[in-house]
Structure 1
Amino acid sequence: MNKVTFENTPNPSTMKFLLGKQVTSEGFDCPTAEEAERSPLASKIFGFPWTSSVYVGPDFITVTKQDWVDWDLLAQPLSGLIQEHMDRDEPVVVEFVAMPEDDENDLPIVRNIKSVLNREIRPVVALDGGDIAFYKYENNILYIHMKGACSGCPSSQITLKDGIETRMKELFPEIQEVVSV
């Protein structure tokens, strides 16, 4: 099992945490919690009020803290949190392929629905190990496939109705219902 270690960086507000294994082929910046949706670990780190930004590298994570707290208090516990995340084999990065949005036969509303599913809904669902796919839009009903952890999950109906359906109805008032097939 790889041990998470940490080291200082030239920026005194930023600490580098070495993961001991490659987690992504290409690093990416998470300057805000909203932009951390590709990384469940970065999202977890943003749960702390002292987090300023996170960068996910191929085999490391750098965390930038707020000025009002010292690394002397944070580095060891944060290293432990990251180690626990890694030991549980929880994903550091969630990769998924976007659904095609540019089918010329699609109505404009269908292209817009696919765009929202790709940009807003799928990244959030992916944090819990699931995915959704557009199936069809017919008679003001949006049909989707729930995949991965979402299929058969006890809370999938809550995700579907309180999450996905509510958001889609906000954006597209003509949608009457979202149904999983």
Structure 2
Amino acid sequence: MFIETESTPNPATLKFLPGRDVMGTGTADFALGDDTSRAPMADRLMALDGVARVFLGADFITITKSDAADWQALRPQVLGAVMEHFLAGLPVIEGQESEEAEDFDQADSDIVAQIKDLLDTRVRPAVAGDGGDIVFRGFRDGTVRLKMQGACSGCPSSRATLKHGVENMLRHYIPEVEQVEQVEG
């Protein structure tokens, strides 16, 4: 099994591509201290000293290291854990992840559909290319609430990406959008 490694815009995060489906559809994001009992892959990776976050994408895994960890020592450990997990035939995740509720007025459902369509077609592919994901969390009073995941969570440039990239694009196509706000946690 060959696993490619790519850097991301976040220097604390690396993207691992095992050459096979990881989640297939959907994503899962786990930070240090989160319950990983239903996610054997994340559980294995979080057990490594120095791993602060695990993001499982369609066909990739992004790992964010703690400030004290060094990629030179941690990278081979992550590669070994991912390889062992897949070779053992273990599931990446068990059961369905409960989705967080989206907060928006039903009267705005057409606007929300437009926002989600733009996010899915124009933003998410680029963000996934950098080892992350962007998830719609709500729309109220002209404010779109988005959650950054994976390499994008905590990335120094994520706020600029949201404000100058995503916000400008959404405001251009959807006049009802006034601003974009990042949701933490």
Bigger RCO (CA 8 Å, 6+ sep)? 2
In the superposition, the TM-score normalised over structure 1's length comes to 0.48
In the superposition, the TM-score normalised over structure 2's length comes to 0.47
